[in-house]
């Protein structure tokens, strides 16, 4: 029989990568802020791919030596893998450094965490690290979870000892038993009783959320921040809730 | 083709073997040629419950290894000539079971029998996995207490993912709930989970509630499946289970327990 295994194959896939939005061209300020951020979660940022967003900077007509910023990022152990919103000169520099250029769609805007910054705000950050962008027509005060490329739908009950992993969102229509474990890189929706462990945003997507009809979970986690059932508020227990992350704190809110 | 039923639970001591013996006898009594297989290799019990332990010559493992034919190993029950028992080996362990061997025995039995009841060992290891692998229907035996319910839930997960039907993407195993050792009085006192509590977690089709009954132990000791004790509540409950499995519509009994004289007089507690 002829061996027909092909040498290679192209496939389409979606990746999550943090985006670095620069608000200043002051390299010293950028480096200092980066170190502060990295110190908060060294493992999370170590060797992380990174996309550099220069739109804010170019809006303010602040020019930046792109080669220098790349050297700085590599020094603090990031892997810059893309540039977006750069001007002609910056794109040219990027190309010379073999860094792909992402053309920003008109409507594309990143998530704003917390209240949008007022222009007169005194503490303008030098750089802001965010996860992935999402299509959003207007600026909103609350973050919206990114729309995952794929969603996994489960209609069977998830029994004790079973594990489900979804690369995107996970939608479950039946109950999740105690001792079961459901994990998703995106959001988790359980349109039934959630008794097992639910872990959303397992690759560090802090904008991921968990939604469930009846919260009785053993453990809930978003991007590594977790609560066990012992720490769950009695008031939201047995209620329909959504769970999201705000300043590294899990917020459990009843859905009316 | 025979219908293969696995009697399983995950947890030990909940009444799998008692149930296997009772329903196998019940099916045979209803005129269906039935074989019951003890998968608990090394801890052979089914033969005791069925009172045929003194007639065991060859066992399941002998058949798998080709040391005896199926006809040599099958023991015909002395109470019902449509019931046959394939005992486990007491001197071997679960590693003696192979998927291929079990499959071959079940295939051969299927030609001749209407129902094959597989009495699963406790646990989720090889013996239990092989007992359920070829099943068409599963009787999940559960006691009204939390660890038994949890283990049954685990078993249901295995049933839906590790069976032949699951591997071949066929229609899944039909799962039924059998709530055994149910004590309505203790449920009322809140000492035992109620049927609703159990169903909230397992949500399965209920085949029957078997009340806790002294007759189960005395029947086991006498080597008589409790279903033959028609006066006992447990015996009647198992007869109902078999009838329901065969398609009869019967109301569920034994949920509320006996109405005591005093309780009747003063009105029951809710």
The answer, as to whether pTM is greater than 0.90, is: no
What are the angstrom distances between the C-alpha of B2 and each of A63, A179, B110, B113? 80, 35, 5, 6
Question: Which residues in chain B have their CB less than 8 angstroms from residue A178's CB?
Answer: 150, 153, 201
Residue B269 lies in a domain: no
Instruction: Supply A228's token pair.
Output: 């066990």
Which residues lie closer than 8 Å to B190 by C-beta, 6 or more apart? none
The SS3 of residue A72 is helix
Distances (CA, A) of B256 to A147, B145, B233, B269: 51, 17, 13, 11
Q: Looking up tokens 């406790």, which residue turns up?
A: B122
Beta strands across the sheet bearing B83-86: B75-76, B83-86, B34-38, B115-119, B3-8, B137-142, B174-182, B205-211
> Distances in Å between the alpha carbon of A124 and those of A23, A26, A40?
8, 13, 19
Q: How far apart are CA B202 and CA B141, in angstroms?
A: 12
Q: Where is pLDDT greater, at B121 or A140?
A: B121
Provide φ and ψ at A159, rounded to 5°. -90, 165
Other Cβ atoms less than 10 A from the Cβ of A248: the count is: 12
Report pLDDT digits (tens) over A160-172.
999 999 999 999 9
Q: Is the pLDDT of residue A121 over 50?
A: no
Q: Is B41 helix (H, G, I), strand (E, B) or coil?
A: coil
In A, minimum Cα distance to B10 occurs at: A160
* Rounded distance between C-alpha atoms, residue B59 and residue B93, angstroms: 13
For residues A108-134, give the mean pLDDT: 39
**Phi and psi angles of residue B101, each rounded to the nearest 5 degrees, phi first:** -65, -45
Examine residue B270 and state whether it is found in any structural domain, yes or no. no
pLDDT at position B145 is 94
Query: B199 to chain A: which residues are within 8 Å by CB?
Result: none
Region class of A73: left (phi > 0), else alpha (psi between -120 and 50), else beta: alpha
The C-alpha angle B231, B209, B195, rounded to 5 degrees, equals 145
d(CA B21, CA B38): 10
- Rounded-to-integer distance, Cα B137 and Cα B7, Å: 9
Q: What is the CATH classification number for the domain harbouring B31?
A: 3.40.50.300
What's the total number of domains in chain B?
1
Tell me the three state secondary structure of residue B228.
helix
| Chain centroid to CA A225 | 13
Query: Hey, are the CB atoms on A161 and B158 less than 8 Å from each other?
Result: yes
- For tokens 């489960």, the residue is A154
Q: Which domain holds residue B74?
A: 1-264
Q: How many CA atoms lie within 13 A of B197 on its CB side?
A: 19
Contacts of B104 (CB under 8 A, 6+ apart): B64
Give me the residues of chain B with pLDDT under 50, please.
Answer: 260, 267-270
Tally A–B CB contacts below 8 A: 37
Task: Determine whether the interchain pair A162/B203 forms a contact, defined as Cβ–Cβ distance below 8 Å.
Answer: no
**Structure-model confidence comparison of residues B162 and A89, the more confident one:** B162
B45-72 per-residue burial string, b: 16 or more CB within 10 A, e: under 16:
bbbbbbbbbeebebbbbbbbeeebebee
Q: How far is CA A109 from the centre of its chain?
A: 14
* Cβ-contact B136, B168 below 8 angstroms: no
State the DSSP code for B53.
Answer: G
Best-predicted range by mean pLDDT (A47-51, A54-58, A156-160): A156-160
Nearest CA in chain B to A216: B201
pLDDT in tens, B15-63: 999 999 999 999 999 999 999 999 999 999 999 999 999 999 999 999 9
Q: Tokens at residue B137, please?
A: 């229907």
- Rounded CA Rg of chain A: 21
Q: Which residues contact A176 (CB under 8 A, 6 or more apart)?
A: A157, A158, A182, A190, A192, A193, A194, A195, A196, A198
What average pLDDT does the segment A68-87 reach?
Answer: 87
Contact, A233 vs A216, CB < 8 A?
no
Say if CB B57 and CB B139 are below 8 A apart: no
pLDDT tens digits for range A165-203 = 999 999 999 999 999 999 999 999 999 999 999 999 999
User: Quick one: pLDDT at residue A11?
Assistant: 73
Give residue B264's pLDDT: 52
Average pLDDT, chain A: 79
Would B52 be classed as within a structural domain?
yes
- Between β-strands A127-131 and A101-102, what pairing exists: parallel, antiparallel or unpaired? unpaired
How big is the CA angle at A90 (ends A107 and A73), to the nearest 5 degrees?
A: 95
Task: Let me know: does B133 contact B99? Beta carbons within 8 Å.
Answer: yes
Which residue did the predictor score with more confidence, A6 or B220?
Answer: B220
Count each helix (H run) and each strand (E run) in chain A, helices first.
5, 18
| Closest listed residue to residue A146, CA positions, set A200, A187, A96 | A187
B101–chain A nearest CA distance, Å: 28
Chain A residues with CB within 8 Å of chain B CB:
156-162, 175, 177-180, 193, 195
Chain centroid offset of residue B265 CA: 39
List residues in chain B touching A: CB distance below 8 A: 124, 150-151, 153-158, 160-161, 200-201, 203
Interface test with chain B among A177, A180, A193, A194, by most B beta carbons within 10 Å = A177
What is the 8-class DSSP label of residue B96? G
Handedness of CA A163, A166, A167, A170 (dihedral sign): negative
Q: What is the pLDDT of residue A76?
A: 86
């Amino acid at each position: 029989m002829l061996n027909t295994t092909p040498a290679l194959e192209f496939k389409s896939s979606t990746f999550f990568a943090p985006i670095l939005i620069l608000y200043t061209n002051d390299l010293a300020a950028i480096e200092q802020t980066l170190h502060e951020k990295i110190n908060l979660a060294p493992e999370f940022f170590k060797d992380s791919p990174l996309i550099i967003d220069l739109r804010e900077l170019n809006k303010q007509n602040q020019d930046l030596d792109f080669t220098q910023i790349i050297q700085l990022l590599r020094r603090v152990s990031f892997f810059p893998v893309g540039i977006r919103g750069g001007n002609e000169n910056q794109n040219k520099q990027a190309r010379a450094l073999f860094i792909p250029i992402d053309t920003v769609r008109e409507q594309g805007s990143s998530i704003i965490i917390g209240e949008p910054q007022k222009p007169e705000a005194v503490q303008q950050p030098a750089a802001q690290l965010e996860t992935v962008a999402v299509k959003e027509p207007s600026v909103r005060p609350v973050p919206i979870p990114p729309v995952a490329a794929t969603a996994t739908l489960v209609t069977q009950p998830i029994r004790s000892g079973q594990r489900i992993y979804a690369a995107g969102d996970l939608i479950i229509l039946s109950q999740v038993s105690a001792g079961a474990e459901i994990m998703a890189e995106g959001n988790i929706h359980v349109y039934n009783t959630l008794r097992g462990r639910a872990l959303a945003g397992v690759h560090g997507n802090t904008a991921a959320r968990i939604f469930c009809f009846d919260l009785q979970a053993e453990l809930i986690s978003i991007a590594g921040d977790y609560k066990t059932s012992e720490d769950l508020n009695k008031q939201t227990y047995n209620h329909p809730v959504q769970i999201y992350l705000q300043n590294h704190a899990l917020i459990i809110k009843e859905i009316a | 083709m025979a219908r293969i039923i696995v009697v399983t639970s995950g947890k030990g001591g909940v009444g799998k073997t008692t149930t296997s013996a009772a329903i196998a006898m019940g099916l045979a009594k209803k005129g269906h040629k039935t074989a019951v297989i003890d998968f608990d290799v090394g801890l052979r019990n089914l033969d005791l419950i069925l009172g045929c332990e003194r007639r065991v010559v060859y066992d399941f493992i002998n058949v798998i290894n080709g040391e005896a034919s199926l006809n040599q190993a099958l023991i015909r029950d002395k109470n019902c000539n449509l019931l046959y028992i394939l005992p486990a080996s007491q001197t071997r362990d679960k590693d003696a079971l192979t998927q291929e061997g079990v499959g071959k025995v079940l295939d051969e039995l299927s030609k001749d029998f209407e129902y094959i009841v597989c009495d699963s060992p406790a646990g989720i290891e090889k013996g239990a996995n092989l007992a359920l692998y070829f099943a068409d229907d599963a009787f999940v035996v559960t006691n009204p207490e939390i660890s038994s319910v949890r283990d049954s839930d685990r078993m249901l997960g295995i049933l839906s993912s590790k069976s032949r039907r699951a591997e071949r993407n066929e229609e899944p195993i039909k799962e039924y709930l059998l709530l055994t050792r149910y004590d309505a009085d203790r449920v009322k006192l809140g000492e035992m989970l109620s049927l609703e509590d159990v169903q909230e977690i397992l949500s399965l089709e209920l085949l029957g509630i078997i009340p806790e009954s002294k007759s189960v132990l005395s029947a086991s000791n006498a080597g008589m499946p409790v279903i033959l004790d028609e006066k006992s509540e447990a015996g009647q409950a198992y007869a109902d289970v078999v009838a329901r499995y065969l398609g009869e519509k019967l109301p569920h009994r034994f949920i509320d327990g006996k109405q005591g004289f005093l309780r009747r007089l003063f009105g029951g507690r809710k």
